[in-house]
Homo-oligomer: A and B are copies of this chain.
């Protein structure tokens, strides 16, 4: 029961046997838990049921949300999301239910046609490349992979993507952009430092239409009394004379109902106008009924913050539970794992001893606990260290979460012991 890294072969084998016995105990419980995706729990969904009772859908300017029209969104929704993203209403386009789909559409458009500043379509010349701070969000990486971009990994630091690496890579004009989750990043829960944001905004890029896809997914999803803040990338890009560089996205999926909420984007008016022009062939208009329902329910930034406090009340104990369990159950093992302690967001990143993440996830699955696949948070699904595990503590009830966290620790121990034995 000492530091695993200091044990000899016999001690490792003894400890492995002991931990396997504990593991078998979990297997017998026949668990069936899912900690794989950032999915709100049922009690969080209940926080928004009153929104479904809102039936007054007339806009202030006399627009009936129930009929066709207003492709850019209800004026009150453009104001609301403008406040949320730190942009003027005319810099905002409010869409349908999915910010991921908006990002897909933007990449699709850039690939086919280009963006407002593009000398040519991204897909028209040499194979384009995209920067992927990793670990990061698998569904971001997948969009650019799907369109055939080369994905370039940038190490993710507690201050954001490693800017020394980024600034070097953007000297290549086939590097067209970067995926960013600037606050409470997926999966680490890191928030970009002011310096990172300023460097992203100001750096010289070989591609004149280099674009920052800024997914502000967790901008209001605070979990502590010491919330993080991130600089406004649009403002910083303007200051640096690169006003068309940033495309910001957010959604209310983890505010009200996942997949049944409202998504929006903000960018320079030039980019928004360009994108709207290309949205015209795509659809008549988005679901303005749902836009109005959300704005009338959440009202303004104060209303939104008050609503998010209710989420925090439900989520904070879950995050603390996972962290306390990791602390308690792994402390005695020495430096075999470390994990992030985010002030918000939906995830905790656990870093195992190198080469142990896949095996840990596999063991958890054997015992009935589904985690995000190891490696999923890296481009092409390959974690070079096989170390990162993304923990999504939000969905299971807290009792199940405790069980799952304890099992996770046992599995980390087993995977580490097996690896140490292999290396001996």
Contact = CB atoms under 8 A, between A and B. Distances in A.
A68 interface: yes
Contacts of A69: 259
B67 A259 contact: yes
A68 B284 contact: no
Contacts of A290: 260, 287, 290
A146 B285 CA distance: 18
A284 B139 contact: yes
Given A45-B64, A68-B258, 11 more contacts: A37-B68, A66-B257, A68-B253, A68-B259, A97-B286, A98-B286, A104-B281, A139-B284, A259-B285, A287-B287, A290-B290
B282 A259 contact: no
Contact of A100 (B66, B143, B253, B284): B284
Contacts of A54: 52
A281 B144 CA distance: 9
Interface string A50-85: 001111010000001111110000000000000000
25 contacts: A39-B67, A45-B64, A45-B67, A52-B55, A52-B289, A53-B53, A65-B260, A66-B260, A67-B258, A68-B259, A96-B287, A97-B283, A97-B286, A97-B287, A98-B283, A104-B281, A104-B282, A104-B283, A139-B284, A146-B281, A258-B284, A259-B287, A260-B287, A260-B288, A260-B289
Contacts of A136: none
Nearest to A57: B52
Interface in A137-165: 139, 142-143, 146
Contacts of A289: 52, 257, 259-260
Q: How large is the interface on A (under 10, 10 to 19, 20 to 34, 35 or more residues)?
A: 35 or more
A108 interface: yes
Contact of A259 (B139, B146, B288): B288
A40 interface: yes
A49 interface: yes
A224 to B, nearest CB: 25
Contacts of A97: 96, 283, 286-287
